[in-house]
Structure 1
Amino acid sequence: MNTPKAEVAKFLSSLPDNASYEDIQYHLYVIEKIRRGAERVETEDALSHEEAKKRLSRWLTN
């Protein structure tokens, strides 16, 4: 597993040279939210995609 510092370094190298501080902050925010969500799926009960579709079907229209 990569350290947060290594992950950020890799991420920064992938951004264009004209990326603003706001761009960097936003992307780091999104990456962290995705990481936390993935951790929650592993540690807590999560619905399968099919179960979620079944529960939401009354609000979703095809």
Structure 2
Amino acid sequence: MAATANAKQEVEQLLQQLPDDATLEDIQYHVYVLEKIKRGRADIAAGNSQTTEQAREKLSRWLNH
């Protein structure tokens, strides 16, 4: 989806890509995933991310406590 598209345009594009028999639950799920991807990309652009190794180390500390 285009980076400059507004939320309504993004949902319209999403709806065009889904099959005609998509349920409301399917649509909600895809909108949810789309939003999570956008937030993740924004976090990465802002430098708020970790390497896989950093994430493994953090998870290891959580699991060992």
Asked whether the two chains share a fold, i.e. TM above 0.5, the reply is yes
Of 9, 16, 22, which residue of structure 2 is paired with 1:19?
22
Counting aligned pairs with the same residue, the percent is 38
Residue in structure 2 matching 1:36, options 23, 28, 39: 39
Deviation at residue 4 of structure 1 after TM alignment: 1.1
1:5-59: CA deviation from partner (whole Å, max 9, x where unpaired) = 11110110111111000000001001100110110111134234xxx247638x7
Which of 1 and 2 has higher RCO (CA within 8 Å, sep 6+)? 1
Normalised by the length of structure 2, the TM-score is 0.69
Which consecutive residues of structure 2, in runs of 5 or more, have no partner in the other structure? 61-65
Q: Give the aligned length.
A: 55
Unaligned runs of 5+ in 1: none
